[in-house]
Structure 1
Amino acid sequence: MSNDDLRVSADRVLARLVGDATGTARLREDQWRAVEALVADRRRALVVQRTGWGKSAVYFVATALLRERGAGPTVIVSPLLALMRNQVDAAARAGIHARTINSANTEEWDTIQGEVAAGEVDVLLVSPERLNNPDFRDQVLPKLAASTGLLVVDEAHCISDWGHDFRPDYRRLRTMLADLPPGVPVLATTATANARVTADVAEQLGTGGREAGGATDGSRALVLRGPLDRESLSLSVLRLPDAAHRLGWLADQLDALPGSGIIYTLTVAAAEEVTAYLRRCGHTVASYTGRTENADRQQAEEDLLANRVKALVATSALGMGFDKPDLGFVVHLGSPSSPIAYYQQVGRAGRGVEHAEVLLLPGREDEAIWQYFASLAFPTEEQVRRTLEVLTAAGGPMSLPAIEPQVDLRRSRLEIMLKVLDVDGAVRRVRGGWAATGQAWGYDAERYARVAQQRAAEQQAMRDYATSTGCRMEFLRRQLDDEAAAPCGRCDNCAGPRFTAEVSDASLAAARGELGRPGVEVEPRRMWPTGLPAVGIDLRGRIPAGEQAAPGRALGRLSDIGWGNRLRPLLSAQAPDGPVPDDVADAVVTVLADWAKGPGGWASGAADAPARPVGVVTLPSLTRPRLIQSLGERIAAIGRMPLLGAVAYTAEAQDIRLPRSNSAQRLRALHGALTISESLSAALAEAAGPVLLIDDLTDSGWTLAVAARLLRKAGARGVYPLVLAVQG
């Protein structure tokens, strides 16, 4: 078939894909170049084009043409379920049968694999996490690699640790690329890659480097990098005095924003706060975060697609792949730490409409949140070496819970580190967990330092974006190394402000009431971490009911945009120790009163209500002893209860510094570190009832659990934790 005939066939598939009954739809020239490279030349192509350019049209059209020529199914590696669901629906419009394998449909895997083997599937969407699932990697992936007609790597910036959303699982694509038969085309796509990320992705895909616009010869990959302007987007920044003004502004202006859209927050807690407030103000919104159940996520997506909600209040869990062409606005309540991530998220809007509003409402809590996420960077060499030593000594597979007691890392960081080590060949994921390979491995400290410097530069760029007096779209495009960047004429700096900072008195009062409402439940620990006996601690299974803490309360979360903003400075490492401030103490009293009278509270009047606390006990602190002591005294005085005393550190643990890592490591540090004095034991026996346990901050909950266990064993009839803040 000539290329002219191929073009006719390609446009026919496009018409089906976009629902064009007239058959007049045509691929743009840049889209056609990519399709031609994949189908006619069987080349590898890297496409870096703005959101809405039509990358999915390229791989669906190419799939249909390759399948007509007898090629095997297209495999699309796709990062998020939202994208997968959109892609399956889009493929169906073009008569392409698409299926997906991901963590949400494990019960269908066998059926889907059978359909693939029978040639009934045209497109198989696979989450990157599946690439290193032992069964999938060893049993399914080799067969897929042997039969694949086209490999598509969507959101390919995830491959690069220079990218804003690096995912180690994506690096497993090297294995699949190496196993592809000669002549199988590969398409990598992204909308958010600067020149460095583009070069890194190209190198890792085995495509070789290339300047924008083409390749040196037919044996090299085609790199299509286009201008990144989004003509439909009008960018603005609005600085408001505090979180209450930002929430109040949203309540006043949400209905005036065009169509339906997305409100991004930086944390799960903020998303839940904003959703609750906007609903109380009468707005139809839904929350979408990493904690949202899969069924609820899918319902939220469907409600937004059908315009049944005005907005989704979302974290970056909705950052990639959600396809709603008529999305009318994106508002960020808090600034992302990367202009590249910001460009990607705002790119959800305005894909199929002439005008969409994009607004950034920065907050003073943003930088504290950036610092927290920066603390989750790749571990130190000492931590990595320790992990390799543990795996080597084991002589066989170890699960994450088995590794944790011996490695000072949170589970999420431990798992990411192991994935990187797997790609580097130092460990391998197998049935039963992870195993050392014995291969030599070097810690690339220089590279990790450069990545950290890059992250710091990105944060500064976001500060500059928020304060810039120049064109905002041009600023973002230059951050993505778009050589065609020029003033857009549409943003608030080019065309003048479109939003006023005014907030109605009613909305501001309601927002202050919402953010000022204190009280967060603190769920007690009920199970000991696994693996403790391996490090000499004979605790396992369920914590006996008679040794558990009861559900407790905190004034707020540090990630809240309400009380979090008040508590972060008070509890920061740099804050001086001192008596509890009056406003904080008064709020804790409100929490205590609401707790007592609420469902399950001791003053609720319920037949099964727990007993009223009869005394106050404080937890020791090496950094804030005056704060905790004064809080205990205030609560005791107001509640007309005795301050019975304090749990103490043992002599051997006077200088304890609890690791901010996994549960097993915290238990290991706490084991034997706390003690109950004879005087406190006597006071507990005399009080003969439950006690309030006072602390400043709870993170993992294990300090409260260990202290509660000691108090219960010493005679306390119950332990009710009451803390100022919950970490996270």
Structure 2
Amino acid sequence: MTDDLRTEAREMLRALVGHAAVFHDGQFEAIEALVRARRRALVVQRTGWGKSAVYFVATLLLRRQGAGPTVLVSPLLALMRDQIAAAERAGVRAVAINSTNAHEWDQVRARLADDSVDVLLVSPERLNNPSFRDEQLPTLVDRMGMLVVDEAHCISDWGHDFRPDYRRLGELIRRLPPVVPILATTATANSRVVTDVAEQLGGGADAPPVLTIRGPLARSSLRLGVLRLPSARARLAWLLTHLDDFTGSGIIYSLTVSGAEDVARLLREAGHEVRAYTGRTDPAEREELEARLKRNEVKALVATSALGMGFDKPDLGFVIHLGAPSSPVAYYQQVGRAGRATANADVLLLPGPEDPDIWRYFATASMPTRERAERVIGALGDAPLSTPALEALVDVRRTPLELLLKVLDVDGAVHRVRGGWVATGTPWVYDAERYDRIAAERRAEQQHMVAYEQTDGCRMEFLQRLLDDDTATECGRCDNCAGVWFSPQIAETATASAASSLDRVGVPIEPRAQWPTGADRLGVPVKGRIAAEERSEEGRALARLTDLGWGGALRTLFADPKDGPISPALLDAAVRVLADWPWAQRPTGIVAMASGRRPLLIDTLARGLAAAGRLPFVGTLAARGGGPAGEPGGNSVYRLAGVWDRWDASALSLPAGPILLVDDLADSRWTLTVAARELRRRGADAVLPLVLALRG
């Protein structure tokens, strides 16, 4: 019987991979457990091992036995596209329901109804969409032949890429009959994560234990290395010098969106065919960029972690990191994009001194706080509130608010319904001990990453041991095992190009055009579009705080709590911003913003610009009632309320023509918006905001 199943499964595997394939250790064992025993299994295997082959072959075998479609929970659109393409090669009829193909949903539902779908791919977020959850999911649960959870480390808040939506899978799993097999797969899970995921897959005390199949995580094709350089300029110059030394096409990872965009621009200007790929990239453009990389039409995509899990280009030749991810586990996941079906692929890390600051920012941004959670629960009742309406009641920005709602939903304190969110009435307790443990684990992971950079031992073995792989041995290929395989030399012309790029100044500040929904609830009597005669023009910042060039100097400036005059270097850079500004009409006067934190910095910046540009310094826009209220970083409604009616231009004698409005830092842009409105209402023909730094 087992031999018959193995023969059938091997035929399907060969259809999938296109040649006389044989099963890797563990593949058939997983398939047999799912198909014959209808068990629950967790497969932890390196990238490229063939985890997708397990669930596609198992699906076809189950379908032959009369089972319903497999539901495959997949976290990324890029991953879904690759999975559908792989399914088609194996004769598996796969369709997806996600945020980008709403026009296809009716057709998908019809195909599910006539049983012409073998695999339905859904995102974890879709499981809590009210119409999908209440109208379609119950039918799928009744007919489901198998549940597959891809990138299953996302279930665990101990994992490097925890996603609250994945926690809802526990509820779905509890609704499934015991005879429905469940498969969870991942390439990045240490023992703590494996235990957590297995517990959530478990079928109860009477069910068989979850079958865990773990294999060695070593990637023999990868040649790892670390090159420590003193500055962002040196790292970019090295990349300009040596990018063409790398074989084939690859991925260059950046920790921030602005970093990815800046590096891509610099490399393009030097003649390299590269493009940026970030969370801000349009979905259609992302799909095209992925296709171009797969066709080797670009040398590299300069990407954030938005291009990561599941992206499948078997012959990807290299992965370079400009800045280190916050944990070796996350690093292993990203470098696993390379060398999946080639004998050799190069992986090089160029860490930066700014890395720990970026790690701390993202770590704190993702953790809920007791005060925020209680504020959100207290604002909800039985009547649904949309996220924008709720945003007007609690001082939490949209993205962290959405993340917090998902966490509270998983905890049972709130529930998503048609029209928004409601409170469940279930008592909620902030698990401080749990969050403290997770925060401590995150800090430990950061130290592990530093240790990876500094180790003189085998780098692949180091990564394997941190993933609790007891098969770890020296790879014989990395820079520590076999010697440095990359040149540290930097061309003088590259240094000059990098310096020129990093010295570039001037980031546009888009003017606000719409008042935030719900402002009237906080006593701000505005709504809809901002009147054209009350808006500012497009402004300029010297740089973003996250920029590779001037961002470092600005981060240092704003990290110091003491006020002081503008430095000559920053003033000179701000003058260059003015020189490069393609305004329609030159400003006729300069106004400084009043400031409770850095009045001397802003005053000397404004007066310095006036002297350099031979413009009159009109004065300082006065603050009413002590100036802006509240702390920076809140959502739009609260930031607007905090600066509304706080500026007074009545004492200023404004000249005809545009006014240059000078401030130190722009975050939400509501301070600039309200200040510009006051100046326009007092007779300014136009307002041109200029700040030193743009947050984000």
Q: Is the 8 A contact 1:378 1:413 kept in 2?
A: no
Q: Which residue of 2 aligns with 1:283?
A: 272
Of 490, 493, 500, which residue of structure 2 is paired with 1:506?
493
Matched, 1:710 2:678: yes
Mapped to 2, the partners of 1:76 and 1:379 lie a distance apart of: 29
Mapped to 2, the partners of 1:536 and 1:582 lie a distance apart of: 42
Of 228, 237, 250, which residue of structure 1 is paired with 2:239?
250
Q: Which residue of 1 aligns with 2:609?
A: 635
Which digits, 9 at most, give the CA deviation of each residue in 1:479-530, with x for residues without a partner? 1111222222111111111112211011111111111111110101111110
Q: Which residue of 1 aligns with 2:437?
A: 450
Mapped to 2, the partners of 1:650 and 1:297 lie a distance apart of: 47
Matched, 1:18 2:17: yes
Of 571, 587, 590, which residue of structure 1 is paired with 2:576?
590
Q: Is the 8 A contact 1:676 1:714 kept in 2?
A: no
Mapped to 1, the partners of 2:484 and 2:594 lie a distance apart of: 52
Of 277, 280, 299, which residue of structure 2 is paired with 1:310?
299
Of 637, 641, 666, which residue of structure 2 is paired with 1:698?
666
Of 599, 614, 630, which residue of structure 2 is paired with 1:625?
599
Secondary structure of 1:184's counterpart equals coil
Q: Which residue of 1 aligns with 2:643?
A: 670
Mapped to 2, the partners of 1:93 and 1:158 lie a distance apart of: 27
Which digits, 9 at most, give the CA deviation of each residue in 1:49-74, with x for residues without a partner? 11111100100110111111111111
Question: 1:239 offset after TM fit, Å?
Answer: 0.9
Of 243, 250, 263, which residue of structure 2 is paired with 1:261?
250
Question: 1:547 offset after TM fit, Å?
Answer: 1.0
Secondary structure of 1:318's counterpart equals coil
Q: Give the TM-score, by structure 2 length.
A: 0.98
Mapped to 1, the partners of 2:578 and 2:364 lie a distance apart of: 33
Question: 1:651 offset after TM fit, Å?
Answer: 2.7
Q: Is the 8 A contact 2:649 2:679 kept in 1?
A: no
Secondary structure of 1:228's counterpart equals coil
Mapped to 1, the partners of 2:527 and 2:18 lie a distance apart of: 59
Which digits, 9 at most, give the CA deviation of each residue in 1:629-688, with x for residues without a partner? 11001011112122111123223547x44231211121122223x2215322xx12xx12
Mapped to 1, the partners of 2:132 and 2:105 lie a distance apart of: 10
Q: Is the 8 A contact 1:64 1:96 kept in 2?
A: yes
Matched, 1:82 2:54: no
Once the two structures are overlaid, the 10-residue window that deviates more, 533-542 or 6-15, is: 533-542
Q: Is the 8 A contact 1:132 1:429 kept in 2?
A: yes
Mapped to 2, the partners of 1:53 and 1:266 lie a distance apart of: 27
Mapped to 2, the partners of 1:290 and 1:465 lie a distance apart of: 27
Q: Is the 8 A contact 1:658 1:670 kept in 2?
A: no
Mapped to 2, the partners of 1:579 and 1:390 lie a distance apart of: 44
Mapped to 2, the partners of 1:345 and 1:382 lie a distance apart of: 35
Q: Is the 8 A contact 1:405 1:668 kept in 2?
A: no
Matches within 5 A, 1:85-104: 85-104=81-100
Q: Is the 8 A contact 2:154 2:166 kept in 1?
A: yes
Question: 1:450 offset after TM fit, Å?
Answer: 0.9
Matched, 1:345 2:300: no
Report the residue type matching 2:277 in the other structure.
Y
Matches within 5 A, 1:83-482: 83-206=79-202, 219-392=208-381, 395-482=382-469
Q: Which residue of 1 aligns with 2:67?
A: 71
Secondary structure of 1:637's counterpart equals helix
Q: Which residue of 2 aligns with 1:535?
A: 522
Secondary structure of 2:380's counterpart equals helix
Cα 1:504/1:85, change in 2 over 3 Å? same
Which digits, 9 at most, give the CA deviation of each residue in 1:571-616, with x for residues without a partner? 22x3532111111111111110110xx3xx2xxxxxxx3x321111
Question: 1:466 offset after TM fit, Å?
Answer: 1.1
Q: Is the 8 A contact 1:177 1:205 kept in 2?
A: yes
Question: 1:218 offset after TM fit, Å?
Answer: 7.8
Report the residue type matching 1:543 in the other structure.
I
Q: Which residue of 2 aligns with 1:649?
A: 623
Of 539, 545, 549, which residue of structure 2 is paired with 1:552?
539
Q: Which residue of 2 aligns with 1:7?
A: 6
Matched, 1:516 2:503: yes
Cα 1:208/1:158, change in 2 over 3 Å? farther
Secondary structure of 2:47's counterpart equals coil
Secondary structure of 1:578's counterpart equals coil
Mapped to 2, the partners of 1:208 and 1:32 lie a distance apart of: 26
Q: Is the 8 A contact 1:569 1:575 kept in 2?
A: no
Q: Is the 8 A contact 1:322 1:348 kept in 2?
A: yes
Cα 1:101/1:641, change in 2 over 3 Å? same
Q: Is the 8 A contact 2:592 2:621 kept in 1?
A: yes
Q: Is the 8 A contact 1:146 1:179 kept in 2?
A: no
Which digits, 9 at most, give the CA deviation of each residue in 1:138-183, with x for residues without a partner? 1111111111111100000111111111111111212221221230
Q: Is the 8 A contact 2:650 2:682 kept in 1?
A: no
Matched, 1:612 2:611: no
Secondary structure of 1:262's counterpart equals strand
Question: 1:378 offset after TM fit, Å?
Answer: 2.4
Cα 1:207/1:311, change in 2 over 3 Å? farther
Report the residue type matching 1:545 in the other structure.
A
Q: Is the 8 A contact 2:202 2:209 kept in 1?
A: no
Report the residue type matching 2:603 in the other structure.
Q
Question: 1:564 offset after TM fit, Å?
Answer: 1.0
Report the residue type matching 1:423 in the other structure.
V
Report the residue type matching 2:4 in the other structure.
D
Q: Is the 8 A contact 1:208 1:221 kept in 2?
A: no
Matched, 1:526 2:543: no
Secondary structure of 1:223's counterpart equals strand
Mapped to 1, the partners of 2:516 and 2:158 lie a distance apart of: 35
Report the residue type matching 1:454 in the other structure.
E
Structure 2 segments unaligned to the other structure (5+ residues): none
Q: Which residue of 2 aligns with 1:57?
A: 53
Q: Is the 8 A contact 1:141 1:176 kept in 2?
A: no
Q: Give the TM-score, by structure 1 length.
A: 0.94
Question: 1:240 offset after TM fit, Å?
Answer: 1.3
Q: Is the 8 A contact 1:38 1:185 kept in 2?
A: yes
Question: 1:386 offset after TM fit, Å?
Answer: 1.1
Secondary structure of 1:317's counterpart equals coil
Mapped to 2, the partners of 1:208 and 1:409 lie a distance apart of: 38
